[in-house]
Amino acid sequence: MIYKITDTTQVSLLFGRWEETLIWSCLQGMMGNVYADDLRHPTAAMAVLGDFTFFAGKPDRELASYNPDPLARNFRILVPQNRRWETVITQIYGEKASIVSRYATKKEPDVFDRVKLEKAAASLPKPYRLSMIDEPLFRMCRANPWSADLVSQFPDYQTYRKLGIGAVLCQENQIISGASSYARYRDGIEIEIDTREDCRRKGFAYICGAKLISECLKRNLYPSWDAHNKASIALAEKLGYHYSHTYRAIEIRE
């Protein structure tokens, strides 16, 4: 049987020193949920936030096959703590599972060149406009499939205003690029960056990212960056991050 965990002290040791801020969000009770195989003496656990699920502890087939919200997600990113978990997950999902590489960055709070970031954010030419996400822009993000993930993990603007932070670039009152908090943990955020397909490769993501990172630093929030492909890690390094390591994840498409 699978249990939803409210007191995460019982499962935090299973995740150990895993430096994934989405896990921290779940364990801290900020966002997401944690599930385990036992309430009092768990040996396996998973942290679920948005599209992501992280598996820790002793591999468990029932937990690996459990989807707490099957109607809402036809795409999931499952991240195993080790190859034993990976084997169990791929056996369960078969052809629906694709192993991909993702790229982690080092958590270095003092690494950023604030002057460089501010100059980048101010380099936007006319007629484009760079704005922090307010309620109308929040609603515009949610209305477009390509930009929805900029705010999708926040149920409403009031929650986003309290926990989230983001910037979008607009042209003629239309959002064409943005950088925002995919999730919030106690001391920072996990960054989400998206650009409308016809506006990519023009430097807009760099400008939005620079603005968001700069604003996070002003608020003493760490802007964590986890890259889903090589272009994303290249952009992260341009903004001041340093590559940490490559890890394997499993994408599930129902």
CB atoms within 10 A of CB 201: 8
> For 124-142, how does the pLDDT look when each residue is reduced to its tens digit (9 = 90+)?
888 999 999 999 999 999 9
- Could you tell me which residues are beta bridge partners of residue 4? 35
pLDDT of residue 69: 83
Give the C-alpha separation, 230 to 242, whole Å: 13
pLDDT of residue 126: 85
Polymer length in residues for the chain: 254
How far is Cα of residue 212 from the mean position of the Cα atoms in its chain? 14
Give this prediction's pTM: 0.95
> For 80-139, how does the pLDDT look when each residue is reduced to its tens digit (9 = 90+)?
999 999 999 999 999 999 999 999 999 999 999 999 999 999 998 889 999 999 999 999
pLDDT of residue 10: 87
pLDDT of residue 71: 65
Q: DSSP letters of the chain?
A: --EEES-GGGTHHHHTT---HHHHHHHTTSSSEEEES-SSS-SEEEEEETTEEEEEES--HHHHT--S-TTT-SEEEEEESSHHHHHHHHHHHGGGEEEEEEEEE---TT---HHHHHHHHT-PPTT-EEEE--HHHHHHHHHSTTTGGGTTTSSSHHHHHHH--EEEEEETTEEEEEEEEEEEETTEEEEEEEE-GGG-SSSHHHHHHHHHHHHHHHTT-EEE-EESSHHHHHHHHHHT--EEEEEEEEEEE-
> What is the phi/psi pair of residue 142, to 5°?
-70, -25
- Local confidence band at 155 (pLDDT 50, 70, 90 cut-offs): very high
- Could you tell me which residues are beta bridge partners of residue 211? none
Q: Provide mean pLDDT across the span 4-14.
A: 95
> For 10-63, how does the pLDDT look when each residue is reduced to its tens digit (9 = 90+)?
899 999 999 999 999 999 999 999 999 999 999 999 999 999 999 999 999 999
Give the C-alpha separation, 221 to 185, whole Å: 9
Residue 73 pLDDT exceeds 80: no
**Lookup: tokens for 28:** 């801290």
Average pLDDT value over all residues in the chain: 96
